[in-house]
Structures are given as C-alpha cells and as structure tokens.
Amino acid sequence: MMAAGPEARPGTAASAARSFDGVVFLAGGDWWYHNRGHYCMQMARHLHERVPVLYVNSMGVRVPRPSEGRMFVRRVSRKLASWARGFRLAEPGLGVLSCVALPGARGARWSRDVATAQIARALRQLGIERPLAWVVAPPAAEVLVRLPHAGLVYQRTDRWEEFPGADKSAIRAYDRRLKDEADLTLYCSRHLYDEERPACPSARFLDHGVDAAAFEAAGRGAQPEPEDVRGIPHPRVGFVGGIDSHTFDAEMFVQVARLLPDLQFVLVGACSLPDGWCSEPNVHRLGQRPYEQVAGYMAACDVLIMPWNRNEWIRACNPVKLKEYLAVGRPVVSTPFPELRSYEGLVAVADTPEAFAAAIHRALSSPPEPEALRARVRTETWSARAASLLDLLLERGLHPIARLAA
C-alpha cells in the first residue's frame, strides 16, 4: 500500500473522513526551467490558494547520455543548477524542492533515501502534516512508498513509457502500481482516457485549462511586440514550445519552411535537437522565454503551428499550447492527432509538408474569425479546472482542512 494507514482506500467509511493540510507534487518538470503552463504547475499554483504546496522538481524517467553531445552538457548543467537551489520558497506557502539524484542501481537507492528525507524536511518547513500526494512522473512511486500521505492523485497526462530512452517495462510497472493505489487518476487526453479507463476505476477526465484573459489580451494588442521579433517581417508563422525529437517533426518543418521562402518562421522554446538541424534563412530560433512572455510571442505571429511527429506519445497528447493559440485568436495549423476531434472547424489539419504549407497559405489569405477561436476556450480557465479538481477530490472523500492566511 502506498497511502498511509487503513483509511487509504477509496470507497470506504474511513476514506470518507480523510482530509489533507497540504499537497506534495512529485512532478514531471522543473519549476525553475520549464514553462509554467504545464498541468501540474498550474494545479500547484491554484491549490496553493487553499493549502500549502510543496513542488518537488522532476527526478526524471531516464538518465542523460554523453552521446547526446551538447544537449547532455545542457541537461546536466541545468540539473546541477536546480540541485544547487535545494529547497526554496517560490512564494509564501509554496515551496520548491530539487532532490539530488545519482545514476545506477546503487545511486537510485541512495537517491530514493535522500529524496525521502529531503521531502519530509521540506514538508515540516511548510507545516504540512497530512499531505495529499500528486504524482506525475511514474518513477516517483519509489519515493512515494516511503512517504506517508492522506491520499494519492496520479496525473496520467503523458504516455511516459514512450519517452525516448525510458525503461518501458519499468515505467509500465510503476504506472500499473500507481493506478491501483490512486484515489484519483487524472487524464487530459480523451484518446488515452478512453483507452485506459476500463482498467482504471479511479480514472477521470479533466482537460487542460488556459490563462484565457492574458492570452486574449495579448491577441488584441494589449502589449507591444517583443523586441526580438520586431525586425522580423510579416507574415510570421510561429511555434511556441519545446522543440524535442519525440514531439516536433523537424524534417517536416524544414520542408515546410523551404516550400514557403517568403514567410518567416519564428520558433520560441527550448530545443534539444542536434546543432545544425535547421539552417533555413527564413527560420528564426529565439530560444526559451518566460511563461509571462509567451502570449506576446504568440500574438506577434500571423499563423501558429503544431508540426508534430506521428507516434504514440503524440497520439496520447493534449498540448496546453492549443488552447493558448486559440485564446490569442490566431489561425492554427497542425498535423493530426486524436484530441483535435474536439476542435473540428477551428484548426486546419495537414499531414504532409505540401498540405501543411497550403494550409498556412489559406490561413493567411482567409483567416478564421478570431472571436470564434477565443470563444471556444474562454471559459476553460485554470481556475475553473481547479474548481473541478476540488469537486473530484471531495467525491473521493478528500478535502483541504487548512487555508493560507490572507
């Protein structure tokens, strides 16, 4: 059993009386370096309005490899910098912890023991005695088993077993274990939810939210264009997000850029692809930007794109950026994936470079009405999602018992 005590199982009389005085997120991303639009980060920020929150930066699903070249150096450097921060308050009542981890079997055992101690100490510093545990990356199950908690939320928003370099059999075992023990297993991909819910009694669908007001305001011109795009001519075609081999179809993107030499392609986001992957003169790689600036970069473009790979990771995805793109009110062109069925008529879909380039041209010559795009997501805010989450927790007999001081 992962949860502490006989009251751990949902559906029992004991579980109906459970409560939590804080939340510990065993996360899939790094608070200091990843985009704050991620599901777990947004939920952490909104639950923090009710109870103290400890966000534990990802302990990872694989170890970086020297064969990755410069990306290996970047990943290791970033992780070392995160470890150096240790435990810090991002704001009162919201702590962020980076646990030290070492590779290898012995390193993993040592890391698990140290992480457990670090988490317990950080929880005490935040005054959390009965945490609700929230797991994103499945390997965190190794730490969770030693961490007393009032209940368990398992966030199944990605197919982690398909992550490059991950041990598929180990991830699947962790996944099964977490589903068996979770009070609530959250899905945001309808495709993945429909596929797995018959074998997951705790499964519930809770879609991504969006900071609708901020992205809509940017799309309406409430802020000036970022300085580093002002010199780039229109029309601009933008992609904002991580540029990684398991998600971003680099080969297709380069072909599209070559087919449209008169258009300017703006890429904003961290890139893990090999150096030199794209040298087209009409492609502008601006690097990663803070979440607060993301809406401005999207609004600075005339068309926004999602050139995804066709693989199992993408089939199970529901990218946060889709709602952000729509809230900004710019035309969207994407390669196909199942979640787009819920946005029929709002997103142009193309699966070849030629069709993708043609769809971009159509979006520029005859763009959809921005208000129709914004209306689709305007009510789907992160605040609304957090309220739905609290309802789901109460349904499981889990409720917050402490509020932060005003």
Kind and range of the H or E run holding 215: helix 212-219
Please report the pLDDT score of residue 402 as a whole number: 60
- Give the three-state DSSP class for 394: helix
- Whether residue 82 contacts residue 98, with contact meaning beta carbons closer than 8 Å, is answered with yes
Class of domain 6-209+381-395: alpha beta
Q: Would you state the structure tokens that stand for residue 153, as one six-digit string? A: 């939320």
Please report the pLDDT score of residue 17 as a whole number: 52
Residues of the chain with pLDDT under 50: 1-16, 62, 67-68, 72, 404-406
Please report the pLDDT score of residue 233 as a whole number: 98
What amino acid occupies position 208?
H
For 280-321, the pLDDT digits (tens) are: 999 999 999 999 999 999 999 999 999 999 999 999 999 999
For 344-354, the pLDDT digits (tens) are: 999 999 999 99
Long-range residue pairs from 311-315, CB within 8 A, at least 24 positions apart, any chain: 311/162, 311/246, 312/159, 312/162, 313/158, 313/159, 313/162, 313/163, 313/246, 313/247, 314/247, 315/159, 315/191
Contacts of 187 (CB under 8 A, 6+ apart): 156, 157, 193, 196, 197, 203, 204, 205, 206
Please report the pLDDT score of residue 203 as a whole number: 97
Q: How many CB atoms lie within 10 A of CB 113?
A: 12
CATH homologous superfamily of 212-377 equals Glycogen Phosphorylase B; (3.40.50.2000)
Domain ranges of the chain: 6-209+381-395, 212-377
Q: Would you state the structure tokens that stand for residue 143, as one six-digit string? A: 């730490």
Among positive and negative, which fits the CA dihedral 286, 291, 292, 298?
positive
Which residue, among 120, 147, 119, has the nearest Cα to 3 in the 3D structure? Answer: 147
Fold match, 6-209+381-395 / 212-377: yes
Is this prediction's pTM over 0.75? yes
Please report the pLDDT score of residue 376 as a whole number: 97
CA distances from 37 to 44, 225, 325, 370 (A): 11, 20, 13, 22
